[in-house]
Amino acid sequence: MDNKDSILQSLIELAEKLSVKVIFKNLQDEEFIIHGGMCSVKGETLILIDSRSSFEEQIKILCRELKKFTLDNIFISPILREILEDNHEPF
């Protein structure tokens, strides 16, 4: 598992700890421009990510959305916390 894949997997696991479901799906639509992000459907919080986007873009979307949560009481590895808090580019 390379560094980008490891970071992506760690972010998905963090989302799961927050009871947020991460869904990778082809978001291409001919009528609408659809960007990945967080939404709520029937009381369930989801983060939708375009499966066609790069690892870097998928990581950026997850970081952007997970930073909206209070993460103080959740164990996060120091490297992952730095990526989330400091907008550190992991690549």
Q: Is the separation of the CB atoms in 52 and 61 below 8 Å?
A: no
User: Is 37 in a helix, a strand, or coil?
Assistant: strand
The model's pLDDT over 53-85, given as tens digits with 9 standing for 90+, comes to 999 999 999 999 999 999 989 999 998 998 888
Residue type, 81: R
pLDDT in tens, 10-35: 999 999 999 999 999 998 887 877 78
User: Which residue's structure tokens are 């870097």?
Assistant: 56
Q: Which domains does the chain have, with CATH numbers?
A: 3-86 (3.30.2010)
Please tell me the predicted confidence (pLDDT) of residue 1: 47
- Three-state DSSP class for residue 49: strand
What pTM did the predictor assign? 0.85
In angstroms, the Cα distances linking 17 to 10, 31, 47, 60 are 11, 35, 13, 19
Better-predicted residue by pLDDT, 87 or 16: 16
- CA–CA gap between residue 53 and residue 16 (Å, rounded): 21
Q: Say whether pLDDT at 90 is over 60.
A: no
